[in-house]
């Protein structure tokens, strides 16, 4: 019998489940090395924690780890129903609110180590959190891909802590009533990118597809739908997706450093995004994403090997 102590929260509708105790022992090494050990040796803990019947298609897990850097308050490895994430914006906001809920941190600045770099988080006195995300950039603009049933689709490839394909022109409006149609479209786009050999840097798979529509918070705003790697849509505006968007807005000269961008999700939740230009890496921006999370539960997951679905449905 394995007992895993968790705290659940949601950030703009997107759930985060932080593992406090009982997670896999990953030993020492960088967060990237420990993530590989998690993947290679303990993957069934991932599926047991986030897949049904304990989790849902939208649940993102966050394994709390000892950081390697002494000035970091925590290390974290994010994962979902399909695998492991480089960074997770909504999850980082959820993690900070969870640590505050547990009395482990107070308001102010905190550094968190992830497999793709250190992110700084500020917990504000009103409970909102600002994440200073990893350097983000647009790799390629106006990439055309032939999508089965939709014809040629054009989008940008950008990094915001995960790889994104960002599409401005498409047929469906960004409303909850269209989730099925948007999921079908974006899943086909993802398959077409893969079939066409269109990737992020160094052949990395583009596993997040983001489409945009108008928001009534215009002019510096849009509404998005983000397809996550496991085919679930992000209920939040997606922190890494908003970072990728900021990188594209900067590359197109459509948003200036310091200006606020309101990124609204399909559920109506909103992140505020702004950036500074990275002085050390040409074409990169340093995004800041602000949002709120709320605690939804505290508990102990029980993994009983007598349960035929102990490792999660589909595992
Ligand atoms: O907020 O960065 C994010 C995110 C990635 C996947 C789900 N949420």
Q: Over the stretch 40-96, which tens digit does the pLDDT of each residue have?
A: 999 999 999 999 999 999 999 999 999 999 999 999 999 999 999 989 999 999 999
65 belongs to the catalytic site: no
pLDDT interval class at 270 (50, 70, 90)? very high
Contact (CB, 8 A) for 89 and 161: yes
Measured from the Cα of 229, ligand 1's closest atom is 6
- Selecting among 65, 72, 228, 238, the annotated active-site residue is 238
Measured from the Cα of 92, ligand 1's closest atom is 1
pLDDT in tens, 277-308: 999 999 999 999 999 999 999 999 999 999 99
Q: If 0-12 CB within 10 Å is exposed, 13-18 middle and 19+ buried, where does residue 203 land? A: exposed
219 pLDDT more than 90: no
pLDDT of residue 299: 98
72 belongs to the catalytic site: no
Q: Is the CB of 240 under 6 A from ligand 1?
A: yes
CA of 307 to the centre of ligand 1 (A): 31
pLDDT of residue 100: 98
Q: Is the CB of 89 under 6 A from ligand 1?
A: yes
CA of 84 to the centre of ligand 1 (A): 11
Task: List Cβ neighbours of 280 (8 Å cut-off, separation of 6 or more).
Answer: none
ipTM of the complex: 0.99
Residue to mutate (ligand 1; options 78, 79, 84, 88; most atoms within 8 A of CB): 88
CA of 306 to the centre of ligand 1 (A): 33
Q: Is the CB of 133 under 6 A from ligand 1?
A: no
CA of 239 to the centre of ligand 1 (A): 6
pLDDT of residue 86: 85
pLDDT interval class at 106 (50, 70, 90)? very high
pLDDT of residue 52: 98
pLDDT in tens, 150-165: 999 999 999 999 999 9
Q: Is the CB of 245 under 6 A from ligand 1?
A: no
Measured from the Cα of 241, ligand 1's closest atom is 2
Q: Is the CB of 263 under 6 A from ligand 1?
A: no
pLDDT of residue 169: 85
217 pLDDT more than 90: no
Measured from the Cα of 243, ligand 1's closest atom is 2
């Amino acid at each position: 019998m394995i007992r895993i102590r968790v705290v659940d929260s949601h950030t703009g509708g997107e759930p985060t489940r932080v593992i406090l105790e009982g997670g896999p022992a990953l030993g020492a090494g960088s967060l990237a090395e420990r993530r590989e050990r998690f993947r290679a040796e303990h993957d069934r803990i991932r599926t047991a924690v986030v897949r049904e019947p304990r989790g849902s298609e939208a649940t993102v897990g966050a394994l709390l780890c000892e950081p390697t850097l002494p000035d970091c308050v925590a290390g974290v490895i994010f994962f979902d129903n399909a695998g492991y994430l480089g960074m997770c914006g909504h999850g980082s906001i959820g993690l900070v609110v969870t640590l505050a809920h547990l009395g482990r941190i107070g308001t102010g600045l905190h550094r968190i180590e992830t497999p793709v770099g250190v992110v700084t988080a500020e917990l504000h006195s009103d409970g909102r959190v600002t994440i200073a995300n990893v350097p983000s950039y647009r790799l390629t603009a106006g990439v055309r891909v032939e999508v089965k049933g939709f014809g040629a689709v054009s989008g940008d490839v950008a990094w915001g802590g995960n790889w994104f394909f960002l599409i401005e022109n498409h047929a469906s409006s960004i409303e909850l009533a269209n989730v099925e149609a948007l999921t079908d479209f974006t899943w086909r786009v993802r398959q077409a990118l893969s079939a066409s050999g269109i990737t992020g840097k160094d052949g990395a798979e583009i596993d997040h597809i983001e489409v945009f529509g108008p928001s009534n918070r215009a002019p510096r705003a849009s509404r998005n739908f983000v397809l996550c790697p496991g085919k679930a849509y992000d209920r939040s505006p997606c922190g890494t997706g908003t970072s990728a968007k900021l990188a594209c807005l900067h590359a197109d000269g459509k948003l200036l450093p310091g200006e606020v961008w309101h990124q609204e999700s399909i559920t109506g939740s909103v992140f505020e995004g702004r950036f500074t230009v990275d002085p050390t890496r040409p074409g990169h921006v340093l995004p800041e994403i602000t949002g709120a999370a709320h605690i939804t539960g505290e508990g102990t997951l029980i993994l009983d090997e007598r349960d035929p679905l102990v490792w999660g449905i589909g595992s």
